Chains A and B, each alone.
Chain A
Amino acid sequence: QKEVEQNSGPLSVPEGAIASLNCTYSDRGSQSFFWYRQYSGKSPELIMSIYSNGDKEDGRFTAQLNKASQYVSLLIRDSQPSDSATYLCAVEIGSSGSARQLTFGSGTQLTVLP
């Protein structure tokens, strides 16, 4: 059973629209949550991290976490063609002293249409 689930997409939105990316996870012990952006042929780039319930905003990006529902999302406002990429949700269960292991979803491919 996959521990982190994402809609594989592809998700297409027009330029200037809001893109909404969703992720669910199975382990209630998960403590840290990350969104990575990955352009084709490149390595993942960290864009957001969130650790407590609620919203966290950074520029055009907003991460939302609901631990009760085991759900984390990423909103991209005013989407730009340069946002076209695969977005990876990653979850960490770790505790101090143990290996910091991220479990990734398979990613959602986002295309922003000019």
Chain B
Amino acid sequence: ETGVTQSPTHLIKTRGQQVTLRCSSQSGHNTVSWYQQALGQGPQFIFQYYREEENGRGNFPPRFSGLQFPNYSSELNVNALELDDSALYLCASSSGKHNSPLHFGNGTRLTVT
């Protein structure tokens, strides 16, 4: 059973650019959620995808968008990058069943300069 994998592991972008982060969910998991973790803070919920549709969103602006593909993998897109977008971006997959725990991937460290 493969775990959650994310790519790339590190990324440096310039303010105003756009970025795409990728996530492959754990085998058998159809739900993917994305979190942003700023330095010294806990992760914050960005959004969740189930069956290729966004079914929940946290307090993030529309320039944060995503996709889920038929194989349940997912992308997080961030447009018009700001310095405050520098963070660890975490993807988590789950079976979607009540009380099933979330398991995180290794994350993508994004630095915006």
Contacts and interface: CB of A to CB of B under 8 A. Distances in A.
Contacts of A90: 42
A67 to B, nearest CB: 15
Nearest to A44: B104
A13 interface: no
Nearest to B91: A43
A32 B42 contact: no
A27 B99 CA distance: 17
Interface string A71-114: 00000000000000000101000111011111111110000000
A49 B101 contact: yes
B66 interface: no
Contacts of B43: 44, 88, 102, 104
Contact of A106 (B41, B47, B104, B107): B41
A42 interface: yes
Contact of A46 (B44, B48, B55, B102): B102
Interface residues of B, number: 29
Contact of B58 (A4, A43, A96, A101): A101
B16 interface: no
Given A34-B101, A46-B103, A49-B101, A100 B44 contact: no
A98 B45 CA distance: 14
Contact of B99 (A32, A43, A105): A32
Interface of A: 4, 31-32, 34, 36, 42-46, 49, 51, 88, 90, 94-96, 98-107
